[in-house]
């Protein structure tokens, strides 16, 4: 009995140490990719974009799609080159202010005209452009590995909002080179660990992603 009692002391100490080592996540955090907290509003904003293309999906399914198509890849990209991201963000913010104030076309980077519905133009960029009138500029938009600023040129019509074809003048400010962004983001995801701060959100992460996001390639 005495030996058993002695064993309880180190066990209790280990439990207290584990509690102490847990990060103090910001209020409202439901998940975290490594040290990057994810709140429900971030996921729900992305889910709202996808609802315009798939309005019949349940809210839970839209959250799943938002996590795997927008939120988690964006979080992984942010971890690859934090300093480069900050520089690209500043360049995009400076450019947006100048362009929205009536400044002329930028020489670096050069604008590119892009056209298409949501899936072709890009989820986040398309969503920022949709409410605009022709001639108006978006705020700075962040996608996985890139900041964008765009001016709406033409807006079509369609049965579903997500099928509306938009034509835009787009400036890209990448912090991960476009040619290898996909591979680098996938590699970062393979090295990452997803923390379930709110355990109820585990059911919203597809099983394949739960296995993927275990930090297995560190």
- Calpha distance 192→190 (Å, rounded): 6
Residue ranges covered by each domain of the chain: 28-81+178-218, 84-175
Q: What is the pLDDT along the chain (218 residues), one digit of tens a residue?
A: 444 444 444 444 444 444 445 578 999 999 999 999 999 999 999 999 999 999 999 999 999 999 999 999 999 999 999 999 999 999 999 999 999 999 888 989 999 999 999 999 999 999 999 999 999 999 999 999 999 999 999 999 988 889 999 999 999 999 999 999 999 999 999 999 999 999 999 999 999 999 999 986 44
Q: Rounded to a whole number, what is the largest CA-CA distance in the chain?
A: 83
Q: What is the pLDDT of residues 170-192, one digit of tens each?
A: 999 999 999 999 999 999 999 99
**Hey, what's the torsion of the CAs at 165, 168, 173, 175, to 10 degrees?**
10
CA-based torsion, 155, 48, 46, 68: positive or negative: negative
Q: Buried b vs exposed e over 148-176: b needs ≥16 C-beta within 10 Å?
A: bbbbbeebeeeeebbebbbbbbbbbbbbb
Tokens of 185: 């983001």
Tokens of 75: 């979080």
Q: What is the pLDDT of residues 2-16, one digit of tens each?
A: 444 444 444 444 444
Residue 150: which of 175, 174, 167 has the closest Cα?
167
């Amino acid at each position: 009995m005495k030996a058993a009692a002695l064993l309880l002391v180190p066990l209790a100490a280990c439990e207290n140490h584990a509690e102490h080592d847990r990060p103090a996540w910001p209020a409202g955090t439901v998940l975290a990719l490594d040290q990057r907290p994810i709140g429900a509003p971030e996921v729900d904003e992305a889910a709202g974009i996808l609802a315009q293309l798939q309005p019949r999906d349940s809210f839970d399914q839209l959250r799943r799609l938002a996590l795997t198509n927008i939120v988690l890849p964006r979080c992984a990209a942010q971890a690859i080159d934090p300093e480069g991201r900050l520089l690209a963000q500043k360049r995009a913010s400076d450019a947006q202010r100048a362009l929205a104030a009536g400044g002329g076309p930028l020489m670096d980077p050069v604008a590119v005209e892009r056209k298409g519905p949501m899936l072709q133009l890009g989820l986040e960029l398309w969503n920022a452009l949709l409410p605009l009138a022709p001639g108006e500029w978006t705020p700075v938009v962040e996608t996985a590995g890139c900041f964008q600023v765009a001016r709406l040129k033409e807006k079509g019509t369609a049965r579903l909002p997500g099928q509306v074809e938009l034509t835009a003048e787009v400036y890209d400010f990448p912090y991960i080179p476009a040619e290898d962004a996909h591979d680098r983001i996938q590699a970062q995801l393979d090295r990452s660990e997803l923390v379930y701060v709110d355990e109820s959100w585990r059911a919203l992460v597809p099983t394949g992603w739960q296995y993927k996001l275990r930090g297995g390639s560190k």
